[in-house]
Chains A and B, each alone.
Chain A
Amino acid sequence: MTIKGKAYIAGIYEHPTRHAPDKSTAQLHAEVAKGAIEDAGLTKDDVDGYFCAGDAPGGLWPMVDYLGLNTKKLRHVDSTETGGCSYLIHLGHAAEAIAAGKCSVALVTLAGKPRTGPMPARASGAEADFELAYGATTHNAYGMCAMRHMHDYGTTSEQLAWIKVAASHHAQYNPHAMLKEVVTVEDVLNSPMISDPLHRMDCCVVTDGGGAMIVTTPEIAKSLKKPLVRLIGHGEAMKGPRGGKDLDLTYSAGVWSGPRAFEEAGVTPKDIKYASIYDSFTITVLMQLEDLGFCKKGEGGKFVADGNLISGVGKLPFNTDGGGLCSNHPVNRGGMTKILEAVRQLRGEAHPKVQVKNCDLAIAHGTGGLLGVRHAASTCILERA
Chain B
Amino acid sequence: MSEAKKYNAPVTNPETAPFWEAAKAGKFMIKRCTTCGEAHYFPRAICPFCFSDKTVWEESSGEAVVYTYSLMRKSPTGPYAIAYVTLKEGPSLQTNIVDCDLEKVKIGQKVKVVWKPTDGAPLPFFTPA
On A, residues with C-beta under 8 Å from B are 126-137, 139-141, 143-148, 151, 192-198, 241-245, 247, 249, 372-373
Contact = CB atoms under 8 A, between A and B. Distances in A.
Contacts of B84: 144, 241, 247, 249, 372
A135 B72 contact: yes
A243 B49 contact: yes
A131 B94 CA distance: 6
Contacts, number: 116
Contact of B70 (A128, A129, A147): A147
Contacts of B68: 144-145, 147-148, 151, 249, 372
B72 A247 contact: no
B42 A133 contact: no
A243 B94 contact: no
B72 A195 contact: yes
Q: Give the contact-size bracket for chain B.
A: 35 or more
B48 interface: yes
Given A133-B123, A147-B107, A249-B84, A244 B69 contact: no
Contact of A192 (B47, B73, B123): B73
17 contacts: A126-B42, A129-B20, A129-B42, A131-B42, A132-B8, A133-B8, A134-B96, A139-B72, A140-B70, A144-B68, A192-B73, A194-B73, A196-B69, A197-B70, A241-B92, A244-B87, A372-B68
Q: Which of A197, A245, A249 counts the most chain B CB atoms within 10 A? A: A245
Contact of A135 (B42, B73, B80): B80
Nearest to B38: A245
Contact of B48 (A137, A146, A243): A243
A205 B74 CA distance: 18
B10 interface: yes
Q: Which of B41, B84, B86 counts the most chain A CB atoms within 10 A? A: B84
B12 interface: yes
B44 interface: yes
B80 A147 contact: no
Contacts of B48: 242-243
Contacts of A245: 38, 40, 49, 90-92
Interface in B78-97: 80, 82-84, 86-87, 90-96
Contacts of B12: 129
A202 to B, nearest CB: 12
A125 to B, nearest CB: 10
A199 to B, nearest CB: 10
A242 B82 CA distance: 18
Interface string B1-45: 000000110111001100010000000000000000010111010
Contacts of B80: 135
A137 B79 CA distance: 13
A196 B41 contact: no
